[in-house]
Amino acid sequence: HSWTRPEDLTAIGVSKERLAEYHRLLREANIPRGFYSFDGGAQINFVAHAAGLSISGTSKSYLYTRKEHPVASDPPLDTLHSRPKAAEVRRVEPHWSLEFTAN
């Protein structure tokens, strides 16, 4: 699990114990990338796949939100890669979703 953002995880309320649990879960799910949050931990993206450059590419993530995530539309996420710009979220549990982005 090569990286986290922000580097100081206490800024988003992630303790060392919680970080160890995240790493265990990431290993169990075979997710080598890492995770990030830019909004104080209200939303945490666990990156399963990323390809391309920072200005253009695709990513697939597990998304955790403190607030219950609204139910989104249900197009197959694996077919969105053919669209030039796409962002889709599929709720799987009240606080967990799958996310696909392409830009």
pLDDT in tens, the chain (103 residues): 566 777 787 887 888 888 888 788 788 878 877 888 877 778 888 888 888 877 788 888 888 888 876 665 555 656 555 556 777 888 888 888 888 888 8
Taking the model in full, what pTM does it have? 0.70
- What does the alpha-carbon distance between residue 26 and residue 21 come to, in Å, rounded to a whole number? 9
